[in-house]
Amino acid sequence: MNNRLPSRLWVSLAMVVLSAGLGVDAADAPAEAGFQPLFPEDGIPAGWMVRAWDDVSKPAPNGAVWKVEEGVLHGGEPRGSWLLSEREYGDFILEFEFKLGPTGNSGLALRAPLQGDPAFDGMELQMADLRYNRQAKDSELTGGIYRAIAPSQQVYQPTEWNRYEVTLKGSHLKVVLNGEVIQDLDLAKQNQEVKRHDGTLAPPIKDRPRQGHIGFQELSRGGEHVLIRNARIKVLD
């Protein structure tokens, strides 16, 4: 009896220690669970297509090419294109870092259809340096829902790496830029008048698709293309 009791105690103690160790790992795991990299390999991105910036039903002008080099996605050359996912997404968390040149202009397409302009027929979360257009409205600068909703604050860092965290769940959109919440919206209530580049009215945000493609735009001037790194997505639906 005296020899068996300590053995049981040691076994119990070992199980407690093991469980505690697993508990620490499990606590850390949920933050990363379910995320998938968007650009896991260098070269031409697989699972993506290049389309014209103003109408994604058309091919990109002059055969624009987007490339991943050493883990960094480089915007298409020449300018004027979208890199769109072949897959459609509805509810998700999307995280990435981006960097623009002094006259950089890019954007993140959200729930975009494969026709028309993602900025007006889906949604575009803007990425643009003020120096690209000094007459730009707040909704046309980084953090804005293009031409519809200005960010609550401007925390974009020119010519530095900036980090977006975008959460879309049903009609709820939350955008965090460099650790600060800049959009926290019920899309179903967004009825602002939005004009296309030709002056005609686009559908209000509340009437835009709840599922579609994601993508990145290249419309920079001056030869410095948008750079994207550490891009990953977690599907919620």
SS (H, E, C) 161-218: CEEEEEEEECCEEEEEECCEEEEEEEHHHCCCCEECCCCCEECCHHHCCCCEEEEEEE
The answer to whether 81 and 52 are in contact (CB under 8 A) is yes
What whole-number percentage of the chain has pLDDT above 70? 87
- Residue 206 or residue 24, greater confidence: 206
Element (H, E) at 51: strand 48-52
Residue 6 has pLDDT above 60, yes or no: no
Average pLDDT value for residue range 65-89: 95
Nearest to 144 by CA among 160, 124, 173, 164: 124
Cβ neighbours of residue 227 closer than 8 Å, sequence gap 6 or more: 72, 73, 74, 75, 98, 99, 100
| DSSP-derived 3-state class of residue 221 | coil
- Confidence band (pLDDT; 50, 70, 90) for 26? very low
| DSSP-derived 3-state class of residue 99 | strand
pTM of the model: 0.86
Residue 143 has pLDDT above 90, yes or no: yes
Residue 9 has pLDDT above 70, yes or no: no
Average pLDDT value for residue range 94-107: 95
Predicted local distance difference test score (pLDDT) of residue 132? 84
Element (H, E) at 32: none
The answer to whether 143 and 157 are in contact (CB under 8 A) is no
User: Chain-wide mean pLDDT for the chain?
Assistant: 88
Predicted local distance difference test score (pLDDT) of residue 59? 93
Predicted local distance difference test score (pLDDT) of residue 17? 34
Q: Which amino acid is at 12?
A: S
Predicted local distance difference test score (pLDDT) of residue 63? 80
